[in-house]
Amino acid sequence: MTRTLVIGGTGPTGIHLVRGLMGRGHEVVILHRGTHERPETPVEIEHIHADPYDMESLADAIGDRTWDLTVVMYGRLRRIAEFMVGRTERFVSVGGVPAIRGWMNPWLFTPEGLPVPVSESAPVVASPEEDEKGFRVARTEEFVFANQPKAAHFRYPYAYGPLQVVPREWSVVRRILDGRRQIVVADDGLTLHHHGYTENLAHAVLCGVDHPDAAAGLAFNCGDDEVLTIRQVIEIIASELGAELEIVSMPFELAVPARPLLAQPSPTHRVLDTSLLQTRLGYRDLVPAREAVARTARWLVENPIAPGAPEEYVLTDPFDYAAEDQLISSWEAAVGSMAPVTFEVAPGVGLAYSGPGGRPRTQATFEN
């Protein structure tokens, strides 16, 4: 039986990981602070309470115990990787996509915007001046492989689903529960954001556990197989909850209420290349992204966040409906006041796929 230590294991993805390990016959021990005991955690699991950000606390709690496998899901990862040398045969860790250069500040590229998709070979944040948090995440990856050369490291994007502490989807769900009939989006909501459903992300890590030789020494981008636009996420939630929600689109610079769901300072796409995870470790979603978003919406309705709770503060969504109504009214008035413009030759969508002599097609051709 494989003796496995999970540092973390009580968060949104940790619960699924622990269950998956037990289903594979592992003898699992979870180490965490003890502040987030979950009823979903199997009762037969041993708990070690320690602070994974404090190496002295960790050393006191672990003593001279050793493991066949250690999976680190939170804590001071760079220090834990060093601490576990000689204490574990295999090392698997979870980090984040902010390590990728430009993930949080795509204006570093010229023209502005991340490559689409972004692979594991893309440059990482090179200095704290570029992005202080991203630099720390990138340096942590370096420390992991320096101390655990055969480690498997998994880069998580935003994780959504049950037990997410700060669920961005709440920005949509609460508006529906509050009876709102309109929601502001930036640029028609067509920005692509790569997210990962909690159960799918845990499955990605388990794929690394299942294929140790193929995973050794590599970092893997993680995320759902299908990348949804912001608009698609909103429409899936509204449909699941049986709500009619008019999407009011305006330029990114004006769409201030859309920022909590967008969660980035630029409307550029953020899409990960997850082909390495798929081809090398055999990953495929356990739950398709559209169903995952619908499940998340249902869970949030059953487990709503109290208005004004700390989760909403961290989400930075004030749910200021009076201001939103004023913004929508001003935008609609501005659009309505525009004088009509007549083009001598109506711009069309070109002669693509028609070849020489093809029939010009306008937007009206497609709409009709």
355 or 185: whose pLDDT is higher?
Answer: 185
Rounded average pLDDT over 181-195: 96
DSSP helix/strand/coil, 182: strand
Is residue 183 within 8 A of residue 169, CB to CB? The reply is: no
Q: How confident is the model at residue 267 (pLDDT cuts 50, 70, 90)?
A: confident
**Identity of the residue numbered 49:** H
Mean pLDDT, to the nearest integer, of 180-188?
A: 97
Q: Is the pLDDT of residue 355 over 80?
A: no
112-143 confidence digits (pLDDT tens): 899 999 999 999 999 999 999 999 999 999 99
Bridge partner residues of 46 (DSSP): 29
Any idea which architecture 3-332 has in CATH?
Answer: 3-Layer(aba) Sandwich (3.40)
Residue 327 has a CB neighbour count (10 Å cut-off) of 18
User: Could you give the CA distance from residue 220 to residue 44 in angstroms, rounded to a whole number?
Assistant: 31
CA 364, CA 368: separation in Å to the nearest integer?
Answer: 6
Confidence of residue 364 (pLDDT cuts 50, 70, 90): low
Return d(Cα 70, Cα 56) in angstroms, integer.
Answer: 18
Give the angle 192-156-202 at the CA atoms, nearest 5°: 115
- Residues 309 and 306: their CA atoms lie apart, in Å, by 5
User: For strand 218-221 and strand 67-72, is the pairing parallel, antiparallel, or unpaired?
Assistant: unpaired
**37 phi and psi, to 5 degrees?**
-65, 130
SS (H, E, C) 224-289: CCCCEEHHHHHHHHHHHCCCCCEEEEECCCCCHHHHHHHCCCCCCCECECCHHHHHHHCCCCCCCH
SS3 call for 339 = coil
Whether residue 197 contacts residue 292, with contact meaning beta carbons closer than 8 Å, is answered with yes
Query: What confidence tier does 37 reach under pLDDT thresholds 50, 70, 90?
Result: confident
326 pairs with which residues across the strands?
Answer: none
pLDDT, position 220: 98
Structure tokens at 100: 């990728």
Distance CA 112, CA 67 (A): 46
Res. 40 pLDDT band, cuts 50 70 90: confident
Tell me if the bond preceding 111 is cis, omega within 30° of 0: yes
Calpha distance 88→65 (Å, rounded)? 9
Q: What beta strand segments (E) does 73-145 contain?
A: 88-96
Q: Two tokens at 191?
A: 């920005």
Phi, psi of 229 (to 5 degrees): -80, 165
Closest by CA to 189, choosing from 231, 241, 157, 233, is 231
Which amino acid, residue 336? G
Considering just the CA atoms, what is the radius of gyration of the chain in Å?
A: 23
